[in-house]
């Protein structure tokens, strides 16, 4: 009589860190394996909370703190049989013994594992600023952080300095201003939200100024001193700002010291994993903000601290862990690898939304990549339907292959939809001209028959087929020296603001003025512009048919003014916006 097979022992899986990556891995693993003992160790008091909602609780838009608490240890035990332990900090790892050392408010102890998932997240970056340890310097990463800030505001704080104008810094500045505080925003980079291209960041700059937020860009804090309990932030331009508190939002760094000391391979402080989340140590996996992600466009590896990628990776790491525990040779289709990241992100500032996906100019130029940038400024829905507002969209593409390398947008409405479509197109391998063929929903309240996405595709197709040659606003000084500038707007538009060297010939008069244009150009290239790029394209085609070498300004004067920003006044005759 054959003995029944012996069931394998139930594995113990220890997950270090909750929130997005860790809890996603824990929940997925439970769905795959009812036998596993799954223990989640969280250093803080809350194992599952909506940290992306913290700025909106700070502003009062989310009035109740309880709305941010997604799950409790009790609810996770009841629904998923998870052993979740808040206020349990891992202080060391012994990969040979397969144990972690755990510190609680009451004791220290060793905990054994069969498999270990590291999801320690990141901590606020702390630049080397003397005085940064002032008691009124705060961060905004946890529930206790937002409680402390709300208490300061309730106690009468009236002026805040925000150090850093990235995504969190911008959200925090907007939230503090909504609470009635005077807000000074300090950013060392030349413009706010550095991953955004300058011409789009300018739209956000104007919005922040309209909200009454004082901006200090291309300026660094040099030291923080004390004035009777209030922090004084001294700046590199010699100015000093006295505040009731400082909110530090200078980025984040992976919280990996303990694990790197134990032998986990890290690069620039972030954990290096394979495409299934496996580290260099046996049965040790890692996920989330503390890991290196592969950039889908550039191929470089960097942390991408976003909740969406962390949640998706947590699920896939659980798949890989389960497959390793149950089958000696996983099939090619399972588990799926963690996909390279596009870094799609979005932020609301006042009445505007900014979003981006893929690479920006800085990343492409750092690799020496050849690219063309397309700008369009269409209304977010049919222009004749009430309430239409412009969307400022740009797309970087490979001019040889049409590969979409990155896209960004700013506008009051419809930006999220368009960037999501472009991110999906990039993931699906569509080329920029293929955007013309997308079958997008259309009705006047929602879009146009030629959607803004379609417009990008049409321009891309024209560029790749040679129907359009673009010139870029960032190359203005070169164009001024080497080309005839031809402004194809109406005389009334021209009078509201134009480049001092430009010749004004409306696009409807180009055919009648071809010989005049040829004489004015005197063998030079003709650089055509209009308000948004449509009329200059029409003029450009007429010139090309006449054998006159020409190009059209990508995005027109709308893009040029945004590129010039505060420097538009000396560049333009007349300052009124068109």
pLDDT tens digits for 309-318?
899 999 999 9
pLDDT score of 576? 59
Contacts of 523 (CB under 8 A, 6+ apart): none
The alpha carbon dihedral of 448, 450, 454, 458 has a sign of negative
pLDDT tens, residue by residue, 477-523: 999 999 999 999 999 999 999 999 999 999 999 999 999 999 999 99
Q: Helix, strand, or coil here: 352?
A: strand
CA geometry: angle 120, 311, 341, nearest 5 deg = 95
Coil, helix or strand at residue 446: coil
pLDDT of residue 568: 83
Dihedral angle, C-alpha 327, 333, 335, 340, nearest 10 °: 150
Rounded to the nearest 5 degrees, what angle is found at the Cα of 233, between the Cα atoms of 230 and 239?
Answer: 125
Q: Which residues contact 381 (CB under 8 A, 6 or more apart)?
A: 387, 388, 413, 414, 444, 445, 446, 447, 448
Measured CA to CA, the distance from residue 282 to residue 535 in angstroms comes to 63
Measure the CA angle with vertex 337, ends 334 and 338; round to 5°: 140
For the beta carbon of residue 351, count every other beta carbon within 10 angstroms. 12
Kind of pairing between the strands at 503-504 and 252-254: unpaired
Alpha-carbon distance of 55 to 492, in angstroms, equals 45
Count Cβ atoms within 10 A of the Cβ of residue 519 and give its class: 0-12 exposed, 13-18 middle, 19 or more buried.
exposed
Interatomic CA distance for residues 392 and 414, integer angstroms: 10
pLDDT, mean of each 10-residue run, the chain (578 residues) = 51 90 93 94 86 92 88 88 95 97 96 96 93 96 93 96 96 96 97 97 97 97 96 97 96 94 95 96 95 95 88 94 76 79 96 98 97 97 94 98 98 98 98 97 94 97 96 96 97 94 97 97 97 97 97 97 89 67
């Amino acid at each position: 009589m054959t003995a029944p097979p012996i069931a394998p022992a139930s594995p113990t899986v220890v997950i270090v860190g909750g929130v997005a990556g860790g809890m996603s891995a824990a929940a997925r693993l439970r769905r795959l394996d009812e036998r596993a003992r799954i223990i989640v160790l969280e250093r803080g008091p809350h194992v599952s909370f909506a940290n992306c909602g913290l700025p909106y609780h700070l502003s009062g838009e989310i009035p109740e703190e309880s709305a941010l608490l997604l799950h409790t240890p009790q609810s996770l035990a009841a629904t998923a049989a998870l052993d979740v332990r808040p206020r349990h900090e891992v202080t060391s790892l012994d990969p040979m013994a397969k144990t972690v050392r755990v510190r609680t408010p009451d004791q220290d102890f060793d905990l054994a594992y069969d498999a270990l998932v590291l999801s320690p997240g990141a901590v606020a970056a702390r630049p080397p600023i003397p005085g940064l340890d002032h008691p009124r310097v705060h961060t905004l990463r946890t529930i206790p952080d937002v409680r402390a800030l709300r208490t300061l505001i309730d106690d009468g704080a009236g002026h805040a300095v925000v150090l850093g104008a990235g995504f969190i810094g911008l959200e925090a500045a907007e939230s503090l201003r909504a609470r009635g505080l005077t807000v000074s925003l300090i950013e060392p980079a030349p413009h706010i939200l550095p991953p955004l291209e300058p011409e789009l960041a300018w739209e956000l700059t104007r919005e922040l100024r309209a909200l009454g937020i004082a901006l200090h860009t291309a300026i660094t804090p040099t030291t923080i001193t004390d004035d009777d309990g209030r922090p004084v932030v001294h700046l590199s331009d010699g100015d000093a700002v006295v505040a009731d508190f400082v909110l530090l939002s200078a980025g984040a760094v992976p919280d990996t010291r303990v694990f790197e000391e134990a032998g986990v391979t890290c690069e620039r402080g972030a954990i290096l994993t394979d495409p299934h989340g496996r580290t260099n140590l046996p049965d040790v996996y890692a996920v989330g903000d503390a890991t290196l992600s592969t950039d889908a466009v550039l191929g470089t590896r960097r942390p991408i601290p976003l909740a969406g990628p962390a949640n998706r990776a947590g699920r896939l790491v659980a798949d890989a862990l389960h497959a390793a525990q149950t089958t000696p040779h996983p099939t090619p289709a399972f588990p799926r690898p963690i996909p390279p990241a596009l870094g799609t992100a979005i932020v609301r500032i006042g009445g505007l939304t900014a979003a981006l996906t893929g690479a920006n100019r800085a990343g492409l130029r750092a690799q020496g990549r050849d690219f063309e940038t397309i700008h369009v400024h269409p209304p977010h829905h049919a222009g004749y339907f009430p309430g239409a507002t412009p969307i400022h969209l740009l797309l970087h593409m490979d001019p040889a292959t049409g590969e979409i390398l990155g896209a960004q947008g700013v506008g009051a409405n419809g930006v999220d939809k368009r960037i999501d479509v472009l991110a999906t197109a990039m993931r699906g391998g569509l080329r920029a001209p293929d955007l013309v063929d997308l079958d997008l929903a259309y009705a006047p309240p929602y879009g146009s028959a030629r959607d803004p996405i379609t417009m990008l595709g049409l321009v891309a197709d024209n560029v790749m087929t040679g129907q359009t040659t673009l010139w870029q606003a960032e190359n203005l000084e070169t164009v001024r020296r080497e080309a005839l500038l031809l402004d194809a707007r109406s005389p009334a538009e021209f009078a509201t603001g134009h480049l001092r060297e430009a010749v004004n010939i409306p696009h409807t008069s180009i055919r009648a003025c071809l010989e005049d244009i040829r004489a004015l150009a005197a063998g030079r290239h003709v650089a055509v512009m209009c308000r948004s790029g449509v009329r200059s394209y029409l003029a450009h085609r007429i010139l090309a048919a006449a054998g006159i070498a020409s190009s059209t300004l990508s995005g027109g004067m709308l893009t040029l003014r945004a590129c010039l920003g505060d420097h538009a006044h000396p560049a333009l005759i007349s300052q009124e916006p068109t």
